[in-house]
Structure 1
Amino acid sequence: MLKDKLKGYKIILASGSPRRQQFFKDLDLDFEIRLKDIEEIYPDDLQGVEITKYLAQLKANAFEGEIAANELLVTSDTIVWLNNKALGKPKDYDDAFAILKSLSNETHEVITSVCFKTITKTETIFDVTKVTFNKLTDEAIRYYLDNYKPFDKAGAYGIQEWIGLVGITRIDGSYTNVVGLPTEKVYHYLSNCYRKE
């Protein structure tokens, strides 16, 4: 199993996301959480997956010089991409309302990049999932924001929450990617790239 293949490594998950932490537990991995406060700013000319790759690597590079020989650091970043514009975490209630209004009756992409860093190499993988919402009424949006407060989520929604149950009509690609981590790709990558020689 994956845990056995990685037993030579100490996995460091640099994410405060409870969803990503739960996925690592669900993958039956032993890991330690290490957090740094990173200002998530990226160059204006980056598009789509370039943004998440840049930010995932930015988060990993913040640990430069702090990774031990047996440690494997994992960082990630997720955005919602709609009409050539990145939608990150909402600034406040009004911003969250505007974001969900823009996603109503539209198809958007959820893009996640995951960066793996050791003292000898840094590699990044990514996944893209298309998500389609039906028409969301103002009342439904307010109900969701008032009761679920999704202000820590890219695109101001969690697919696993009420809004996903009542509002999403179609998903093309990885469901877990929309929640916050493309678990199948992460599992496959770790299985093949970090076996102890």
Structure 2
Amino acid sequence: MEQHQNPWRFESASIPYENPWIRVTERRGLNPAGNPGIYGTVHFKNVAIGVVAMDEEQHIWLVGQYRVPLEAWSWEIPEGGGPHGEDPLIAAQRELLEETGLRARHWRPVVKMHLSNSVSDESGIVFLAQGLEMGEAEPEETEQLAVRRVPFEEAYQMVKDFGITDSLSVAAIQKIRLMMLEGEL
């Protein structure tokens, strides 16, 4: 694949904001046309983690919660974050247990993606979890969750009808659907 050099020429960088989850960097310099410009980047301190937990009947678990940035309720696959450097599988196992109470015997990565590469460096990975065992959910204190077990086709229809709009969830559900059509599941 062809590689290109960065057309921006940055002269300075500052960090106007940082908290435990993100850091905002503002770079100043010359844009690709040679004119003065700025570029802001949101650095995420965690890798986004998602899990499609699928049982033998091809039902999956969805988690609903109010998303403050959107000011709206959102149905999603179980999701969370894992610190850079942590094995993403360990983070996925932890998030699935926290949000649904489920443990899985079989895991495989199905999606790796950048989530908004024009303004952030956030990356994500989604696992398919199978061989499920039910336990007790352990949500974080910042989460007030609703959990639903739905037929996979219902979740897929929710994606098609814009009832699920979360990027990791949309990509993962569509990927699982493709895997089913290609006989990989």
TM-score by length of structure 2 reads 0.29
Flag the structure with larger Rg: 2
Greater fraction strand: 2
Bigger fraction of residues in helix: 1
Q: TM-score, normalised by structure 1?
A: 0.28
